[in-house]
Amino acid sequence: ATPTALLVGTGRGAQLGILIKGPEVLESTRRVDTVLLDKTGTVTTGRMTLHEVYAADGADASEVLRLAGAVEHASEHPVARAIALGAVERGGKLPEVEDFENVPGRGVQGRVEGHQVAVGRLAEYTAQLPPELARAKAGAEREGRTAVVVGWDGVARGVVAVADAVRETSAEAVRALRALGLTPVLLTGDNRAVAEAVARSVGVEQVIAEVLPEEKAEAVRRLQAEGRSVAMVGDGVNDAAALATADLGLAMGTGTDAAIEAGDLTLVRGDLRVAACAIRLSRRTLATIR
């Protein structure tokens, strides 16, 4: 029997909801010593909801939300969905957007009612935040909320904070991964303060934050160059390259097809604890067939 047949054959793999691409995957589980955990959708549920809207002095919060919602309506990003839905719930129908543009890992922009509107962490707006907005943004981020800047026609007008819940199973999963001798590291495109708040709440000490989607794979390669053997757990389109680059890629089954295709292994139910089970089970299976 092939190792895969053994693993699945025990029924345990399937019972736990672990899908494995091929027998060679087992071998990599033996060496991995570092596990990179994507934040949004992996350590957290990724089901974001609108939390708070802050307007700059002289701006109107409901107008900030309405225009931000109009642009975000055209995006699939979890931050975008939270803002668009919140805007509809609080304000009703959204205006049309023209010339929509998505900038991966940064935000969105488009023209709404004649204004050139941008939402996200687009440099031209985040660099010149008025003090009241900078304070609101930093406060939300310290609490672990993702805060994005809304601006139009060259002026920052507001900040929208969205809330995402840490999965109930994440802290236990981190303990289980450590028990297997793995060092957990949180990897995210989100702001450093947000990343640190989330990391702290699940017992992770190391954080790599504010990485662009294309830089996630580079973070994996950098650790590999230091001689580490790296497992990566992720769910998003922006995790696909990192999952493929890692020595062991684990995709959340609740995530995107791109992540699932790039991973060596799928955690069907999207339960991070199963990542530790999968590694433990593979190592044990290897020990049995030696």
Residue 217 corresponds to which tokens in the numbers above? 């794979």
By the rule CB under 6 A, 137 interacts with ligand ADP: no
Instruction: Give the three-class secondary structure for 163.
Output: strand
Strands (DSSP E) found in the chain: 18-20, 34-38, 49-55, 98-103, 107-112, 115-120, 146-152, 155-163, 183-187, 206-208, 230-234, 248-252, 265-267
Instruction: Give the three-class secondary structure for 252.
Output: strand
Q: Largest Cα–Cα distance in the chain?
A: 71
By the rule CB under 6 A, 109 interacts with ligand ADP: no
Name which of Mg ion, ligand ADP, none residue 235 binds, using a CB cut-off of 5 to 8 Å depending on partner kind. Mg ion
Interface residue with ligand ADP among 36, 59, 64, 80 (CB under 6 A) is 80
Whole-angstrom CA distances from 198 to 138, 142, 158 are 15, 10, 24
Q: How many other CB atoms are found less than 10 A from the CB of residue 151?
A: 29
Strands 34-38 and 230-234: parallel
Of 52, 255, 38, which is closest to residue 145 (Cα–Cα)? 52
Catalytic residue check, 57: no
Which part of the chain contacts ligand ADP (CB under 6 A), choosing from 23-31, 48-56, 187-195, 223-231? 187-195
Assess contact for 23 and 4: CB atoms under 8 A: yes
By the rule CB under 6 A, 146 interacts with ligand ADP: yes
By the rule CB under 5 A, 72 interacts with Mg ion: no
Chain residues 219-238 in contact with Mg ion, contact rule CB under 5 A: 235-236
By the rule CB under 6 A, 73 interacts with ligand ADP: no
Least spacing, CB of residue 189 vs ligand ADP, in Å: 2
By the rule CB under 6 A, 251 interacts with ligand ADP: no
For ligand ADP (CB under 6 A), the number of binding residues is 22
By the rule CB under 6 A, 120 interacts with ligand ADP: yes
Interface residue with Mg ion among 3, 41, 249, 263 (CB under 5 A) is 41
By the rule CB under 6 A, 79 interacts with ligand ADP: yes
Interface residue with Mg ion among 28, 29, 34, 40 (CB under 5 A) is 40
Instruction: Give the three-class secondary structure for 122.
Output: coil
The single residue of 38, 190, 247, 264 carrying the catalytic annotation is 38
By the rule CB under 6 A, 105 interacts with ligand ADP: yes
Which part of the chain contacts ligand ADP (CB under 6 A), choosing from 18-26, 50-58, 71-79, 246-254? 71-79
Residue 273 corresponds to which tokens in the numbers above? 């604890």
Alpha-carbon span 99 to 135, nearest angstrom: 31
Contact positions vs Mg ion (CB under 5 A): 38, 40-41, 235-236
- Using CB under 6 A as the criterion, which residues of the chain lie in contact with ligand ADP when the complex forms? 39-40, 72, 75, 77, 79-80, 105-108, 119-121, 146, 148, 188-190, 213, 236, 238
Looking at the annotation, which residues are catalytic?
Answer: 38
